[in-house]
Amino acid sequence: MAINFLNTVDLNKNQLNNAAIQNLAADPATGVLGQVYYNTTDSVLKICITANVIGPPAVNAVWQGVSGDVASVTASTVNNRLGIAITDPNGPDPVVGINIVGQTNLAATPASTDELLIYDVSTTTNKAITVANLVGGFETTYTLPVSAGTVAPGAPTTGIITLTGSDGTTDPVTFSGTTGRVNVSGAGSTITIDLTDDVSIVDDLNVGGVITQSGISSTTGANNGALVNTTALALAVANANIKVGMEVTGTGVPTNITIASITDTTNFVLSSAISIADATALTFTEINSFAAALDLNNNRLQEVKTGVLGTDGVNLAQVELLVAGVGVFKGGYNATTDPGVPVISGTSNIALDLGDYFVVSHDGDITFSDQVVSVEVGDFIFANAAITAASDPASTEYTFVQADANIAGAGATDGATEKGVAGFDSANFTVTASGWVQLDNQKNPYGRKQSLNNTSPSSRAEAGGVTTFTLDLADASLFGTGALSSNIAVEVTQIATPFQTVYAEVTRSGTASMAIAFTGSISNDVYQVLLTHI
């Protein structure tokens, strides 16, 4: 039976003699990074280089044989320099990099379509190299131009790559150019170069002509379960097309929510917390991101969408609309009589534009069609929208801002409580000169601390090799009259550094007496008890 260790075993740089690594006939499905075992089938010591992933989908651990890498191969004969043949059709696709210098003799064509032969092509005639059946039956023939000797840097060269698809069609692509420039042309009018999803260009990118973006990556999905003010998003179906930085849109999703990080193809972390219903249809769309200022070189920025967030850019139409609705100060508002002056309520109200506002100069009440609103000197009254004259507006068509310094009151609800200036108990709060209020750290009101010594309310006695400290919990310095030891929780700690918790025998009487016993002779004020009245 194996002994199960639940923590790392440190041999303190001592040797492990006569040890045998675990023997297994095949790679385990699970493993942690650095775990080793001996594969009895391959007679190889293997190490875990990728830990297993608990799905869905579950992914097994990856094991690699412990062996040396070949840095270089020196061929001893002419025949050995003909090339490298990879003849295992069941093995992984090879990645081979070879620098063949001065090789002029070539081998015959590949013996089968599962071979990859790499030859020297530094001859005086063009040489075609065929790579067949490496990826799903796709065959590519490369016809490379060569000339006698080594091509001089910067000399004009022309090359043709003929792409033969699995359907038998052939499409030639021609490369030509001089120093610092390569021209690409094809049988058709358009050359499409398919790059990886993420392409990094170092330094400046100068492009002539028009840049056209054919489309951005977009995918969809639905959340698995309702989200309530959380950044954790789980999809009902895994989606490997979702990437960090994609914008998330859907019913109930606020503006500018993006994918902050990816846990796996089903679970993601959002940039901000959201609340949406179960199975909400979601769209994930890539957005362009610039890491520096964008200089348009005195050109117009066209087709700009209407801004939503405070940090969004806006279009001209939106600017004109906003400027047209900028509020105008309409003067003071006298609420002494109802309706006030000027009249903003009832069937005789004046016309106002969006944002027009008044400052209350006299206290009073304003009777609207839906309720009566009380205002005080210094309050602001804003028009929420354009208000037509003699339209008997409701109070909801205005925004009232309390701007004076009232004394704060107490109430059962937020809306029913007077807001204003207030004072705070210095025993529990601290307030800075700028008005920043903070709650002091609150000690446990039911907690006490007592050193174990021979001073009331603690007493000390030794008998039979045991030192006992007895506490009177009803003492006024502890919990006072009515305290019962059965209701007191206790922790024994050292008084000095490192204040370590120690374990003594604690017994409680039916009253306020508690005894803490130690084996041996214990001096006064070595230990203390932390007491909590429950």
Tally of residues, the chain: 534
Tell me the CATH number for domain 215-314. Answer: 2.40.30
Give residue-wise pLDDT tens across range 210-222.
777 766 789 999 9
Tell me which of 39 and 438 has the higher pLDDT.
Answer: 39
Query: What DSSP string runs through 333-381?
Result: EE-SSSS-BS--SSTTPPPB-TT-EEEEEE-EEEE-SS-EEEE-TT-EE
The per-residue pLDDT for 205 is: 81
Tell me the CATH number for domain 447-533. Answer: 2.60.40
CA angle, corner 489, sides to 487 and 493, nearest 5? 155
Q: Is 323 helix (H, G, I), strand (E, B) or coil?
A: helix
Dist CA 148 CA 41 (whole Å): 52
Dist CA 303 CA 301 (whole Å): 7
Residue found under tokens 């959201």: 274
Give residue-wise pLDDT tens across range 149-197.
333 444 445 556 666 666 667 777 777 766 666 667 766 556 666 666 6
Q: Return the HEC string of 82-101.
A: CCCEECCCCCCCCCCCCCCC
Tell me which of 7 and 241 has the higher pLDDT.
Answer: 241
Does position 264 have pLDDT exceeding 80, yes or no? yes
**Contact (CB, 8 A) for 350 and 343:** yes
The mean of the pLDDT values for the chain is 80
Dist CA 252 CA 234 (whole Å): 16
The per-residue pLDDT for 131 is: 44
Does position 381 have pLDDT exceeding 90, yes or no? yes
Does position 72 have pLDDT exceeding 70, yes or no? no
At a CB cut-off of 8 Å and minimum separation 6, what does 395 contact?
A: 345, 366, 368, 369, 370, 371, 373
The per-residue pLDDT for 126 is: 45
CA angle, corner 179, sides to 177 and 181, nearest 5? 50
Domain with CATH 2.60.40 in the chain: 447-533
Beta strand 329-334 pairing with 357-362: parallel
The per-residue pLDDT for 405 is: 67
Average pLDDT over residues 397-409: 80
**Does the pTM of the predicted model rise above 0.75?**
no
Q: Give the least confident one: 128-137, 280-289, 389-398, 457-466.
A: 128-137
Question: Which residues pair with residue 519 across a beta bridge?
Answer: 466
Give residue-wise pLDDT tens across range 506-526.
999 989 999 999 999 999 999
Backbone Cα Rg of the chain = 41
Average pLDDT over residues 351-373: 92
Question: How many CB atoms are closer than 10 A to CB 360?
Answer: 24
